[in-house]
Amino acid sequence: MKKFKKVIIKHPTLRNLRNNLRKIIDIWELTEEKKLSDKMQSLDWKSPQWRELRDTQNQLRRLLNLSICVCDVCQAQDKDMVFDPFVPKWMCVDCHEVLIPKYKDPRVQAEIHAEADDVSLEEFKATMQKNFGIKEEKSKRD
C-alpha cells in the first residue's frame, strides 16, 4: 500500500539547519547551471555538444525539483515536506493539505494514477547515486 511520507522538523535550530542546507544545494545547482551556460556560449547551438549541455542543465533543475528540497507545487524551500506516492513527488505540507480533499474524488484518483510517473523517482535515486554517490538510507523506524 502506498503511504504518504511526512518529514516534519519541529526544533527551530534543526529547521534552520535544514533550510540552510537546502539553500546551499540550490546555490550549488545554480552555479552548475551557470558553468554549463558559460560553456554553451562558445558553442554553436545546433551542435550536439550544445544540446548535451542544455540537457544536463535541464536534468539538474528537474532533479532539484524532484527532491525534498523544493515543493513541487509552490517552489517553497523552507517548509516541512510530504512525499506523495500517488504523484509521486515531494510537496510542502500546506500544498498537500489543499490537495488531499481532491484525492477523495474517484475521477481525480483515476487521473493521478494515469499520470503517475514511478520512473521519475527511481531515475532521481539512480542519478543521485551515480553522479554524486548519494544512496537512499532506509529509516530504522519504517
- Residue 29 contacts residue 60 (beta carbons within 8 Å): yes
Q: What residues have CB less than 8 Å from 60, skipping those under 6 apart? A: 29, 32, 33, 36
| Site for Zn ion contains 69 (CB under 5 A) | no
Binding flags for Zn ion, 22-61, as an x/- string (CB under 5 A): ----------------------------------------
| Site for Zn ion contains 73 (CB under 5 A) | yes
| Site for Zn ion contains 93 (CB under 5 A) | no
CA angle 81, 82, 88 (to 5 degrees): 125
Cell for 107? 475521477
Shortest Cβ distance from residue 95 to Zn ion (Å)? 3
Judged by CB under 5 A, the number of residues near Zn ion is: 6
User: Looking at beta carbons only, is 76 or 116 nearer to Zn ion?
Assistant: 76
User: Looking at beta carbons only, is 35 or 102 nearer to Zn ion?
Assistant: 102
What's the rounded Cα separation, in Å, for the pair 79 and 84?
15
Q: Residue 92, SS3?
A: strand
Shortest Cβ distance from residue 98 to Zn ion (Å)? 9
Listed as own residue / partner, the contacts of 37-45 with beta carbons closer than 8 Å and 24 or more positions apart are none
Shortest Cβ distance from residue 70 to Zn ion (Å)? 9
Shortest Cβ distance from residue 35 to Zn ion (Å)? 29
| Site for Zn ion contains 87 (CB under 5 A) | no
Q: What residues have CB less than 8 Å from 103, skipping those under 6 apart? A: 86, 109, 112
* Contact set with Zn ion (CB under 5 A): 71, 73-74, 76, 92, 95
